[in-house]
Amino acid sequence: MTIVVENLSKQFGNFKAVDQVSLEIKPGKLVALLGASGSGKSTLLRLVAGLEQADAGRILIAGQDVTFKSVQDRGIGFVFQHYALFKHLTVRENIAFGLELQNLQQGRKKGRSKAKVEELLDLIQLQGLGNRYPSQLSGGQRQRVALARALAIEPSILLLDEPFGALDAKVRKDLRGWLHRLHTEVNVTTILVTHDQEEAMELADEIVVMNNGKVEQVGSPTEIYDQPASAFVMSFIGPVNILPSSSCLFQGNTFNAVAPKIFVRPHDVVITTQPIGAATPAKVSRLVHLGREIQAELTLSDGQNINANIRREHFDQIRLELEQQVYIQPKFAKTFSSGGR
């Protein structure tokens, strides 16, 4: 199902939560709404779901205007951060709940629910746990049950509001891989709200970066990371060094005539132990071991600090030590106009 949002706005008091947002989500795609707290991503999701009423603009699903339609009439499955499972119902009963209501409304037999529930238990890899209660499951298992319950009614659209936010890092990582495989199999148009950049980059076909109720940029994970449309997007997506153009690192470089600030990714900082070309002297002030990478915090002669990420193999070759003098130069840097674009 295609979702089209046209000039959508929502205000709470004097606060503009969503400010004239326009967006198109293509059928079968998994799109992440990514932004900091208060950026408007959850409000936008709730407007699409029908859980909030827009002040202006409209929402179209499969070409039909649903702006003023109820939640029940939109054919949407919704998964919250905190599972919202019924504690007194078993896993099977939780999954079947919405389906039983749907069957009752449409005059269908219960036998269909039983077969569908078993199919979903297999899909979420919880075979044999159907008779357990939510309290007898791990957090990751409960979230899978919540997803199965949302999928049971065969929604045209699946909305996920920070679905892994309450889980620890290892479980979140495992569930991301599982959700990606699940989405490939069920192929339902999905919107995921998250503040986790890694989660958005790993899962989404497209990322919508939001800030102050507006859309900053829409693109694939590669486009968002490699071709940020604004200073905000570059500073929000992935680690970055933000240095004044007057920094000694850029002396003699045309960058300092373009913009007041220059953005350099840590992996784009080249470190050598001997001066090469226009390399700038720096002192190693901190080393952080991150498994296959080492993060080096370097101090320039003008007092500015800059981070560089070094592959383990290269680190072992150059043998960096604290207080050591090294030479650095950026292999790529980016500037933005004073307006941010």
Spatial contact of 61 and 1, defined as CB atoms under 8 Å apart? yes
pLDDT for res 104: 64
* Tens-digit pLDDT profile for residues 58-95: 999 999 999 999 988 888 988 877 767 889 999 999 98
Looking at residue 122, its amino acid is D
For residue 75, what are its two tokens?
A: 């054919």
Task: Round to whole Å and give the CA distance between 307 and 317.
Answer: 19
- Coil, helix or strand at residue 48: helix
pLDDT for res 281: 95
pLDDT for res 116: 84
What domains can you pick out in the chain, each with its CATH number? 241-335 (2.40.50.140)
Given its phi and psi angles, is residue 128 left (phi above 0), alpha (psi -120 to 50 degrees) or beta? left
Sheet of 56-61: strand order equals: 15-25, 3-12, 56-61, 64-65
Segment 155-184 mean pLDDT: 84
Task: Round to whole Å and give the CA distance between 294 and 310.
Answer: 5
Residue 110 pLDDT greater than 70, yes or no: no
Percent of the chain surpassing pLDDT 90: 58
Segment 300-307 mean pLDDT: 94
| Overall pTM > 0.75 | yes
Residue 294 pLDDT greater than 80, yes or no: yes
* Tens-digit pLDDT profile for residues 190-226: 999 999 999 999 999 999 999 999 999 999 999 999 9
- Coil, helix or strand at residue 312: helix
